[in-house]
Protein backbone atom coordinates (compact mmCIF):
# COMPACT_ATOMS: atom_id res chain seq x y z
CA UNK A 1 0.00 0.00 0.00
CA UNK A 2 2.85 2.33 0.86
CA UNK A 3 4.53 1.55 -2.51
CA UNK A 4 1.32 2.28 -4.40
CA UNK A 5 1.02 5.69 -2.76
CA UNK A 6 4.62 6.56 -3.60
CA UNK A 7 4.17 5.40 -7.21
CA UNK A 8 0.93 7.37 -7.47
CA UNK A 9 2.57 10.54 -6.09
CA UNK A 10 5.62 10.00 -8.34
CA UNK A 11 3.37 9.60 -11.44
CA UNK A 12 1.47 12.79 -10.52
CA UNK A 13 4.72 14.70 -10.03
CA UNK A 14 6.09 13.45 -13.37
CA UNK A 15 2.85 14.45 -15.14
CA UNK A 16 2.90 17.83 -13.41
CA UNK A 17 6.58 18.32 -14.35
CA UNK A 18 5.81 17.48 -17.99
CA UNK A 19 2.85 19.89 -17.98
CA UNK A 20 4.99 22.70 -16.55
CA UNK A 21 7.77 21.94 -19.04
CA UNK A 22 5.32 22.15 -21.96
CA UNK A 23 3.85 25.38 -20.58
CA UNK A 24 7.35 26.74 -20.14
CA UNK A 25 8.20 25.98 -23.78
CA UNK A 26 4.96 27.52 -25.02
CA UNK A 27 5.14 30.68 -23.00
CA UNK A 28 8.84 31.36 -23.39
CA UNK A 29 8.54 31.58 -27.19
CA UNK A 30 4.91 32.40 -27.86
CA UNK A 31 4.49 34.37 -24.66
CA UNK A 32 7.43 36.58 -25.51
CA UNK A 33 6.03 37.12 -28.98
CA UNK A 34 2.59 38.01 -27.56
CA UNK A 35 4.14 40.43 -25.09
CA UNK A 36 6.03 42.18 -27.92
CA UNK A 37 2.87 42.37 -30.05
CA UNK A 38 0.89 43.71 -27.09
CA UNK A 39 3.46 46.40 -26.40
CA UNK A 40 3.45 47.36 -30.09
CA UNK A 41 -0.36 47.79 -30.08
CA UNK A 42 -0.22 49.78 -26.86
CA UNK A 43 2.34 52.17 -28.37
CA UNK A 44 0.27 52.61 -31.55
CA UNK A 45 -2.88 53.16 -29.48
CA UNK A 46 -1.10 55.72 -27.33
CA UNK A 47 0.13 57.63 -30.40
CA UNK A 48 -3.33 57.65 -32.00
CA UNK A 49 -4.99 58.73 -28.77
CA UNK A 50 -2.57 61.64 -28.32
CA UNK A 51 -2.94 62.66 -31.98
CA UNK A 52 -6.74 62.77 -31.66
CA UNK A 53 -6.46 64.63 -28.37
CA UNK A 54 -4.18 67.23 -29.97
CA UNK A 55 -6.52 67.65 -32.94
CA UNK A 56 -9.52 68.19 -30.65
CA UNK A 57 -7.56 70.72 -28.59
CA UNK A 58 -6.81 72.75 -31.75
CA UNK A 59 -10.46 72.64 -32.88
CA UNK A 60 -9.39 70.80 -36.00
CA UNK A 61 -12.24 69.60 -38.20
CA UNK A 62 -12.29 67.19 -41.14
CA UNK A 63 -15.65 68.48 -42.38
CA UNK A 64 -16.15 70.74 -45.38
CA UNK A 65 -19.01 73.14 -45.87
CA UNK A 66 -19.72 75.89 -48.37
CA UNK A 67 -18.16 78.56 -46.14
CA UNK A 68 -14.72 77.08 -46.80
CA UNK A 69 -14.93 77.82 -50.54
CA UNK A 70 -14.17 81.09 -52.27
CA UNK A 71 -16.99 83.62 -52.46
CA UNK A 72 -19.12 81.49 -50.10
CA UNK A 73 -20.49 79.46 -53.01
CA UNK A 74 -23.13 76.93 -52.14
CA UNK A 75 -21.56 73.62 -53.05
CA UNK A 76 -22.98 70.20 -52.32
CA UNK A 77 -20.57 67.26 -52.39
CA UNK A 78 -23.50 64.89 -52.87
CA UNK A 79 -23.77 66.16 -56.45
CA UNK A 80 -20.65 64.15 -57.35
CA UNK A 81 -22.40 60.90 -56.52
CA UNK A 82 -25.23 61.64 -58.94
CA UNK A 83 -23.14 62.40 -62.03
CA UNK A 84 -23.02 58.84 -63.33
CA UNK A 85 -26.71 58.30 -62.59
CA UNK A 86 -27.72 61.43 -64.47
CA UNK A 87 -25.87 60.49 -67.66
CA UNK A 88 -22.72 62.50 -67.01
CA UNK A 89 -19.94 60.81 -68.95
CA UNK A 90 -17.03 62.93 -67.81
CA UNK A 91 -13.74 63.65 -69.49
CA UNK A 92 -12.25 60.28 -68.56
CA UNK A 93 -14.65 58.47 -70.91
CA UNK A 94 -14.32 60.87 -73.82
CA UNK A 95 -12.15 59.60 -76.70
CA UNK A 96 -9.11 61.60 -77.76
CA UNK A 97 -9.43 63.87 -80.79
CA UNK A 98 -6.86 61.94 -82.82
CA UNK A 99 -8.74 58.69 -82.18
CA UNK A 100 -11.98 60.28 -83.38
CA UNK A 101 -10.24 61.47 -86.54
CA UNK A 102 -8.78 57.99 -87.18
CA UNK A 103 -12.22 56.48 -86.66
CA UNK A 104 -13.78 58.91 -89.16
CA UNK A 105 -11.04 58.13 -91.68
CA UNK A 106 -11.51 54.38 -91.20
CA UNK A 107 -15.26 54.68 -91.74
CA UNK A 108 -14.80 57.17 -94.59
CA UNK A 109 -16.61 60.10 -93.01
CA UNK A 110 -15.55 63.68 -93.70
CA UNK A 111 -17.92 65.33 -91.23
CA UNK A 112 -19.57 64.32 -87.96
CA UNK A 113 -21.87 61.36 -88.67
CA UNK A 114 -25.22 60.50 -87.11
CA UNK A 115 -25.95 57.24 -85.30
CA UNK A 116 -27.84 55.89 -88.30
CA UNK A 117 -24.93 56.67 -90.65
CA UNK A 118 -22.48 54.96 -88.28
CA UNK A 119 -24.68 51.86 -88.04
CA UNK A 120 -25.19 51.69 -91.82
CA UNK A 121 -21.48 52.10 -92.60
CA UNK A 122 -20.58 49.61 -89.83
CA UNK A 123 -22.74 46.93 -91.47
CA UNK A 124 -21.10 47.56 -94.84
CA UNK A 125 -17.59 47.38 -93.40
CA UNK A 126 -18.45 44.36 -91.22
CA UNK A 127 -19.38 42.44 -94.40
CA UNK A 128 -16.04 43.46 -95.86
CA UNK A 129 -13.78 42.82 -92.82
CA UNK A 130 -15.49 39.83 -91.18
CA UNK A 131 -12.97 37.05 -90.27
CA UNK A 132 -14.97 34.44 -92.23
CA UNK A 133 -14.42 36.45 -95.42
CA UNK A 134 -10.77 37.39 -94.64
CA UNK A 135 -9.48 33.85 -94.00
CA UNK A 136 -9.71 34.17 -90.22
CA UNK A 137 -7.87 37.51 -89.98
CA UNK A 138 -9.79 39.38 -87.29
CA UNK A 139 -7.50 42.42 -86.86
CA UNK A 140 -9.54 44.63 -89.16
CA UNK A 141 -12.77 43.55 -87.45
CA UNK A 142 -11.33 44.42 -84.04
CA UNK A 143 -10.29 47.80 -85.40
CA UNK A 144 -13.76 48.31 -86.87
CA UNK A 145 -15.44 47.54 -83.53
CA UNK A 146 -13.05 49.83 -81.66
CA UNK A 147 -13.61 52.74 -84.03
CA UNK A 148 -17.38 52.19 -83.99
CA UNK A 149 -17.33 52.48 -80.19
CA UNK A 150 -15.34 55.71 -80.43
CA UNK A 151 -17.73 57.23 -82.95
CA UNK A 152 -20.79 56.19 -80.95
CA UNK A 153 -19.37 57.98 -77.90
CA UNK A 154 -19.04 61.22 -79.88
CA UNK A 155 -22.62 61.14 -81.17
CA UNK A 156 -25.27 62.55 -78.86
Task: Tell me the CATH number for domain 90-154.
Answer: 1.10.287
Q: Is the pLDDT of residue 86 over 50?
A: no
The DSSP element (H or E) to which 85 belongs, if any, is none
Rounded to 5 degrees, φ, ψ at 112 are: -70, 120
What mean pLDDT value characterizes the chain? 77
d(CA 77, CA 107): 42
SS3 55: helix
Q: What is the mean pLDDT of residues 119-148?
A: 86
> Is residue 133 within 8 Å of residue 115, measured between CB atoms?
no
Where are the domains positioned within the chain?
1-60, 90-154
| b/e burial code for range 30-43 (CB count within 10 A of at least 16 → b) | eeeeeeeeeeeeee
Provide the CB-side half-sphere exposure for 78 (13 A, CA): 1
Question: Crossing angle of helices 115-129/97-107, nearest 10°?
Answer: 60
Q: Is the pLDDT of residue 107 over 80?
A: yes
Please tell me the predicted confidence (pLDDT) of residue 4.
77
Winning range, highest mean pLDDT, from 5-14, 54-63, 88-97, 130-139: 5-14
Q: Is the pLDDT of residue 91 over 70?
A: no
| Residue predicted with more confidence, 47 or 32 | 47
Banded pLDDT at 43 (limits 50, 70, 90): very high
Amino acid sequence: MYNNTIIYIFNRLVRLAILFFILYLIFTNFGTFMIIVGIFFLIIGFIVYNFKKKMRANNFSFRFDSSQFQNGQNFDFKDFRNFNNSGFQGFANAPRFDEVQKAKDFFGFTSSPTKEEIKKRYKELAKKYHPDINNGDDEKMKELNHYRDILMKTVE
